[in-house]
Structure 1
Amino acid sequence: MIGSAMAQNAAGDPGPVIDVHMHAGEFASGGMPMCPNADRFLASDPADGPEAPFGWSKEDCTPRLYPAAKGQYMPEVLAEMKRLNVTGVFFGDPAEVKKWQAAAPERVIPGTAFKSVTTPDQADQLKRLEVSFTKDGFKVMGEIGLQYEGISPSDMRAEPYFALAEKLDIPVAIHMGTGGSGRSNVSRSTFRGSMGNPLLLEDLLARHPKLRVQVMHAGYPMAENMLTLLQANSHVYVDIAGLIWSYPRKEVNRYIQRLVEGGFGDRVMYGTDQLLWPGLMAYSIGIIQNADYLTPEQKRDILYNNAARFLRIKK
């Protein structure tokens, strides 16, 4: 039902869209088909042999999303962006991001970040980032994946990077919340759900009062803590990337609705976490376009206006 409605809407004029959470690179090799918004996550037992890294239930679905063939991911995603009038913030290694920017400069907003706070090359990472933001035109520091290392965003080991972002007036995009698709214990043992608590950002924000922060995945599923952070910090926005397709549809809509009805409809930004399936963008835009709890104005805010404000894009 949602797939056909999405296709009909996307075929019309959805207006300009900003996807604030995309990934540069070629991820199609070895990729698997995916049923978006699977309705449950499966338990696993180590006694049964090798455990799958993803816990989504293996159900039939329409539409089923397929990865691009090897070498076709970039052209297929860029074609979708043109068809759907999407501009995207791309994260990744600077060289990879620049390839996407060269292919579609009018569609790509470049972003990059440090790889880890536990490696000894902090000085080199800081130097590279400063060059990226001051000379190479990069616009966002992200994706910052401290949660995957089991580290709080307010950990002082990350302080020099956030200090640089505030000094250069660069917004930061921090992974907080969803991760592992029910199997972080299998796929990423250093991941800590507790490090996705949005309130862990408070000390960081107190040290850097001018820092603009994009909470990736909207701190899911900690809605109350996310709302607490939003009401205390007017420079904090959330993106709904990843969340929008990797959890049951009713749950996704309930979470977005909670943020909007909590009074923060002007801080919710659309995103996909695009990294495998070219059809994901049209599908996830359809989730917003068909949300009956959102007004047309709120849909436009989520799909474009809020991100344009956060990124300071002139309309």
Structure 2
Amino acid sequence: MAAPLAAQEESRPEAPPPIIDVHFHATLESSSLGDPICPNPQQFLALDPRDAPGGFFGWSQEDCSPRLYPAPPGEYLSTLVAEMERLNVTAVVFGDPESVRAYQQAAPDRMIAGTTFTSEPDTDKAAELRRLEDLFTDGGFKVMGEIGLQYQGLSPSDPSVDEYFALAERLDIPVAIHMGTGGSGRANVLMPTFRASLGDPLLLEDLLARHPNLRVQIMHAGYPMIDNLLALLQANAYVHVDIAGLIWSYPIEEVNRYIERIVDAGFGDRVMFGTDQVAWPGLMAHSISIIQNAEYLSPQQKRDILYNNAARFLRIGSEVDN
């Protein structure tokens, strides 16, 4: 005999505290099947140019537990949504509008839409600005990102893209800008316009001076340029950082040192959780556990990083989760 409904309700496990992932990608199903990976590898490999470039990643291939696996073909998005439900995660999802809407349809209450501009030299800028304004005013999009100017050899303060940031400021839309490392050891081969120097957080200063009300999310926390990052955060209170990508793709000791340095400098209310999710559904639980197990963070600091800071930055609610 089935238990009474009230007893069934009481027996259901309580949902975990809410989490916001501010850096998520609407990866197409056909391109979401990456290789298994070991998160937080201990070495970034040297290469010899005489050798074939091989795979994209330069991180060492290690044995680990847990190893992260891609979802079976055709099951990536459904597996991802199930993990989001289990972990109580809401995510800011970046991509082209069609892909982002597919993610929203799969989990309407857990996806916050983000998209960015095209800045190729032959872009019809007026048309691109109209397209973006429509998406942000009538299309339900909430964040401008991921803005990957560093991969194009451009500073975020470059005048050629300033109109897009002016639009975001006028519409009160936060912008998420890739800053920090990239290229996976093969930038010179696969992406010759990428410049590590253009990940310097201080390159945002001219942009912020021109657009003083712009809310900026520095993706990857500008790793590894910690001193310049701290200088920028002290000078500009509207700037936040996400720890996506960084949190799982570098040695765990280095990850913890970098986050701890930001928090110890007094900027614990600027750090936002993120994964840079692209292929491995288990990446969410692994990345969350790094914050939850960080001994240098107080319980309140953990909740701020996992939820409160992003909720405030994105203006998605007035409730603070303790």
TM-score by length of 1: 0.94
Residue of structure 2 in register with 1:308 after alignment = 311
Say if 2:40 is the partner of 1:37: yes
Please tell me the root mean square deviation across aligned C-alpha atoms, in Å. 1.4
Say if 2:141 is the partner of 1:124: no
CA-to-partner distance for each residue in 1:238-285, whole Å, 9 max, x for gaps? 000000001111000000000000000000000000011000000000
Q: For residues 254 and 128 of structure 1, what CA distance do their matches in structure 2 show?
A: 41
* Aligned-partner SS, 2:202: helix
Query: Is the Cα contact below 8 Å between 1:44 and 1:51 reproduced in 2?
Result: no
Higher RCO structure (Cα 8 Å, ≥6 apart): 1
Over 3 Å counting, the alpha-carbon distance change for 1:30 and 1:274 in structure 2 is: closer
Q: For residues 32 and 288 of structure 2, what CA distance do their matches in structure 1 show?
A: 25
Q: For residues 100 and 157 of structure 1, what CA distance do their matches in structure 2 show?
A: 31
Bigger Rg, which one? 2
Q: For residues 185 and 50 of structure 1, what CA distance do their matches in structure 2 show?
A: 11
Residue of structure 2 in register with 1:137 after alignment = 140
Q: For residues 296 and 248 of structure 2, what CA distance do their matches in structure 1 show?
A: 18
Residue of structure 2 in register with 1:52 after alignment = 55
Residue of structure 2 in register with 1:222 after alignment = 225
2:26 pairs with one of 24, 27, 45: 24
Amino acid of the structure 1 residue aligned with 2:205: E
Say if 2:257 is the partner of 1:254: yes
Q: For residues 126 and 199 of structure 2, what CA distance do their matches in structure 1 show?
A: 27
Residue of structure 2 in register with 1:162 after alignment = 165
CA-to-partner distance for each residue in 1:162-193, whole Å, 9 max, x for gaps? 00000000000000002122332233221110
Map of 1:218-297 to 2, 5 A cutoff? Answer: 218-297=221-300
Map of 1:169-248 to 2, 5 A cutoff? Answer: 169-248=172-251
Q: For residues 83 and 106 of structure 1, what CA distance do their matches in structure 2 show?
A: 14
* Aligned-partner SS, 1:237: strand
Amino acid of the structure 2 residue aligned with 1:17: I
Query: Is the Cα contact below 8 Å between 2:69 and 2:282 reproduced in 1?
Result: yes
Over 3 Å counting, the alpha-carbon distance change for 1:250 and 1:12 in structure 2 is: farther
Segments of 4+ in structure 1 off by > 3 A? 11-14, 27-30
How many residues are aligned here? Answer: 305
How big is the shift at 1:123? 1.9
How big is the shift at 1:46? 1.7
Q: For residues 287 and 102 of structure 1, what CA distance do their matches in structure 2 show?
A: 30
Q: For residues 232 and 136 of structure 1, what CA distance do their matches in structure 2 show?
A: 34
2:117 pairs with one of 111, 114, 117: 114
TM-score by length of 2: 0.92
Q: Which runs of 5+ in 2 are unaligned?
A: 1-12
Q: For residues 250 and 133 of structure 1, what CA distance do their matches in structure 2 show?
A: 39
Q: For residues 176 and 32 of structure 2, what CA distance do their matches in structure 1 show?
A: 27
Q: For residues 65 and 124 of structure 2, what CA distance do their matches in structure 1 show?
A: 47
Amino acid of the structure 2 residue aligned with 1:305: N
* Aligned-partner SS, 2:50: helix
Q: For residues 45 and 192 of structure 2, what CA distance do their matches in structure 1 show?
A: 18
Residue of structure 2 in register with 1:6 after alignment = none
Q: For residues 43 and 283 of structure 1, what CA distance do their matches in structure 2 show?
A: 27
